[in-house]
Every structure is written in structure tokens, then in C-alpha cells.
């Protein structure tokens, strides 16, 4: 069975705004659960030995909780989030 993908949003700007609102609403719950629930700590402890450095490109989303654990031993690099995309040039 082939995977089912969602359609492209009609209005990408509104989709991004809606996603940002939803993420902002639930980020506190997510952040608390990552810190409090034991399975996250188990996952982090299992993941850390497999992260190689010295420089690591951090591309995940979330609260950055894992990042706080490996900054002691690695130099994380990252990409900044662009909230306002530049208008693409007109097609000629």
C-alpha cells in the first residue's frame, strides 16, 4: 500500500501562521513532557552516544531539550528560522 500524503496548503502563509499558533499553544506541554516522562530520558541517554562531532548540525524542531544535553561535549551548529520569506522574483 502506498503512503497517503496531504495536499499542498492553498495559502502557505496562513498554513504557517496556523501551525505557529498550534505549536505555540502546545509547546509548554511538550517541553514539560520531554523533561518529566521517563521514556524521553531513556531515549536521550540512548541517542547521545551515537552523536558524533565535534560539530553537529541541529535540524530538528522542538524546544531544544536534547540540544542542552550535548552542548557540553559537542559544538552544535544550526539554521535560523525564517518567519517572513522573501517574495520570489516574477517569472519572465
Considering only 3-12, 22-31, 55-64, which range has the smallest mean pLDDT?
55-64
Q: With pLDDT > 90 as the criterion, what percentage of the chain qualifies? A: 0
Mean pLDDT, the chain, as a whole number? 77
Residue 89 in domain: no
Residue 20 in domain: yes
Residue 85 in domain: no
Question: How many domains does the chain contain in total?
Answer: 1
Q: What is the pLDDT of residues 32-42, one digit of tens each?
A: 887 788 887 88
Give the structural domain span for 46.
12-78
Question: CB 43: neighbour CB atoms within 10 A?
Answer: 13
Residues whose CB falls within 8 Å of the CB of residue 31, separated by 6 or more in sequence, listed in order: 63, 65
Residue 91 sits at φ, ψ, to 5 deg, of -75, 140
What pLDDT is attached to residue 92?
60
Q: What is the pLDDT of residues 4-16, one digit of tens each?
A: 887 888 888 888 8
Amino acid at each position: 500500500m502506498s503512503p497517503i500524503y496531504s495536499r499542498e496548503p492553498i495559502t502557505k502563509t496562513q498554513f504557517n501562521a496556523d501551525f505557529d499558533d498550534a505549536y505555540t499553544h502546545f509547546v509548554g506541554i511538550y517541553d514539560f513532557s520531554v523533561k518529566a516522562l521517563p521514556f524521553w530520558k531513556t531515549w536521550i541517554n540512548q541517542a547521545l552516544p551515537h552523536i558524533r562531532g565535534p560539530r553537529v548540525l541541529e535540524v530538528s524542531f522542538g524546544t531544544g531539550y536534547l540540544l542542552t544535553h550535548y552542548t557540553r561535549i559537542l559544538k552544535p551548529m544550526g539554521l535560523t528560522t525564517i518567519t517572513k520569506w522573501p517574495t520570489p522574483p516574477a517569472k519572465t
